Structure 1
Amino acid sequence: MDNYQIADSFSLLAKLSDIHGENSFKAKSYATAAFTIEKLPVQLSETPHEKIFSIKGIGESTGKKIIEILTTGQLKSLDEIIEKTPPGVMELLNIKGIGPKKIATIWKEMEIENVGELLYACKENRLKLFKGFGEKTQHNVIETIEFYLKSKGSFLFSQINLIANEVKTFFEKIFLTNKIAFTGAYTRQLEIIHELQLVIDDTTDNIKNKLASVNDFELIEENQYDLLYQAAVGIKIRVYSCDKIPFMQQVFLNSCSDEFATAFSQQFESINYAECENEEAVFTSAGIHYIPPFQREFTHVIDKAKQAPLPPLLQVKDIKGIIHSHSNWSDGGYTIEEMAKAAIAKDFEYLVISDHSRSAFYANGLQEERIKEQHLYIDQMNQQLAPFKIFKSIESDILNDGSLDYSNAILSTFDLVIASVHSNLKMSEDKAMLRLITAIENPYTTILGHMTGRLLLSRKGYPVDHKKIIDACAANNVVIELNAHPSRLDIDWRYIEYALEKNVLISIDPDAHSLDGFDDIQCGVLAAQKAMVSKENNLSSFSLQELEAFLLKKKLADKN
Structure 2
Amino acid sequence: MPIHNADIIRIFEEIADLLEIQQANTFRIRAYRNAARTLQSMDKDVAVLVEQHADLTQLPTIGKDLAAKIEEIVHTGQCQALTKLRQQLPASLPELLKIPGLGPKRVHALYHELDIHTPEQLLRAARDGRILALHGFGQKTVDALVRSIESHIRQKPRLKLAEAAHYAKPLAHYLQQHPGVDEVTIAGSYRRGKDTVGDIDLLVSAADSQPVMAHFTHYDEVAKVQSSGRTRASVVLKCGLQVDLRVVAKPSFGAALHYFTGSRSHNIELRRRAQQRGLKLNEYGVFRGDTQVAGATEDSVFKAVGLPWIPPELRENQGEIAAAEAGELPNLIELRHLQGDLHAHTRASDGHASLETMAAVAKQKGLRYLAITEHSQRLTVTHGLNAEQLRRQIDQINALNDTLEGITLLKGIEVDILEDGSLDLPDEVLGQLDLVIAAIHSKFHLSRQLQTERIIRAMQRPHFSILAHPTGRLLEQRDAYDVDMPRVIREARQRGCYLELNAHPERLDLLDTHCRMAKAEGVLISINSDAHHPNDFDNLTYGIGQARRGWLEKEDVLNTRSLRQVKRLLTQTL
Calculate the TM-score normalised by the size of structure 1: 0.71
Residues 1:104 and 2:110 are matched in the alignment: no
Per-residue deviation at 1:304? 0.9
1:520 pairs, out of 539, 542, 556, with: 539
1:375 counterpart residue number: 394
- Which of 534-543 and 166-175 deviates more? 166-175
Q: Per the alignment, do residues 412 and 512 of structure 1 end up closer, same or farther by CA in structure 2, a change over 3 Å counting? A: same
Alignment of 1:236 with 2:155, yes or no, is no
**Contact 2:252–2:295 (CA under 8 A) maintained in structure 1:** no
| CA pair 93-446 structure 1, distance change in 2 beyond 3 A | closer
Is 1:345 the equivalent of 2:364?
yes
Counterpart of 2:319? 300
The amino acid across from 1:232 in the alignment is: K
Residue identity in the other structure for 2:420? D
Tell me if structure 2 keeps the 8 A contact 1:445–1:478. yes
Which amino acid in the other structure matches residue 360 of structure 2? K
Match of 1:465 in 2: 484
Partner residue in 2 for 1:442: 461
- 233-242 vs 356-365, which deviates more? 233-242
**C-alpha displacement of 1:483:** 0.3
For structure 1, the 5+ residue unaligned runs are 1-90, 125-132, 556-560
Residues 1:237 and 1:459: Cα distance change in structure 2 (over 3 Å): same
1:254 maps to amino acid: F
1:211–1:384: structure 2 CA closer, same or farther, 3 Å change rule? closer
| Contact in 2 for aligned 1:320/1:350 (Cα 8 Å) | yes
- 1:186 paired to 2:190: yes
- Equivalent residue, structure 2, for 1:266: 272
Q: Kindly report the root-mean-square deviation, in angstroms, between the aligned alpha carbons of the 2 structures.
A: 3.8
Superposed displacement of residue 171, structure 1: 2.8
2-structure distance, mates of 1:139, 1:487: 24
Tell me the residue number matched to 1:199: 203
Asked if 2 retains the 8 angstrom alpha-carbon contact of 1:428 and 1:463, the reply is yes
**What secondary structure sits across from 1:178 in the alignment?**
strand
Structure with larger Rg: 1
Give the counterpart letter for 1:430 in structure 2: Q
CA distance in 2, matches of 1:382, 1:368: 21
SS of equivalent to 1:322: strand
Partner of 1:325 in structure 2?
344
SS at match of 1:290: coil
Q: What displacement does 1:195 show?
A: 0.9
Which aligned pairs between 1:119-198 and structure 2 lie closer than 5 A? 135=63, 154-173=158-177, 176-178=180-182, 180-198=184-202
Matching residue's letter, 1:155: L
Q: Is the 8 A contact 2:253 2:297 kept in 1?
A: no
Structure 1 residue 324 displacement after superposition: 0.5
Aligned partner (choices 508, 512, 516) of residue 497 of structure 1: 516
Q: C-alpha deviations, 1:218-264, integer Å up to 9, x for none?
A: 22368998542102354210123569x95443321221222211111
1: CA distance between counterparts of 2:521 and 2:70? 40
2-structure distance, mates of 1:142, 1:476: 49
- Aligned with 1:488: secondary structure? coil
**CA offset at residue 317 of structure 1?**
1.5
1:488 aligns with 2:507: yes
Match of 1:545 in 2: 564
Q: Distance in 1 between matches of 2:422 and 2:68?
A: 38
Q: Deviations over 1:299-336 (max 9, x none)?
A: 41111111226333322121111210101111111111
The superposition leaves residues 1-42 of structure 1 with CA deviations (integer Å, 9 ceiling, x where unpaired) of xxxxxxxxxxxxxxxxxxxxxxxxxxxxxxxxxxxxxxxxxx
Are 2:371 and 2:410, in contact at CA under 8 Å, matched by a contact in 1? yes
SS of equivalent residue, structure 2 residue 536 = helix
1:474 aligned partner, one-letter code: R
Give matches, 1:19-58, under 5 Å: none
Query: Hey, what does 1:63 align to over in structure 2?
Result: none
Question: 1:177 Cα deviation (Å)?
Answer: 2.6
Q: Which string of whole-angstrom CA distances, capped at 9 and with x for unpartnered residues, describes residues 437-460 of structure 1?
A: 222222321000001221112222
**Structure 2 gap segments, 5+ residues each:** 1-9, 42-60, 83-93, 95-155, 287-291
Deviation at 1:141, TM superposition (A): 8.8
Residue 532 of structure 1: how far off its partner (Å): 2.2
Instruction: Report the Cα distance in structure 2 between the residues aligned to 1:466 and 1:263, rounded to whole angstroms.
Output: 29
Counterpart AA for 2:457: T
Report the AA paired with residue 354 of structure 2. Answer: T
Aligned mates of 1:235, 1:456 — CA distance in 2: 17
1:423 Cα deviation (Å)? Answer: 2.1
Q: Read off the aligned partner of 2:203 and give its amino acid letter.
A: V
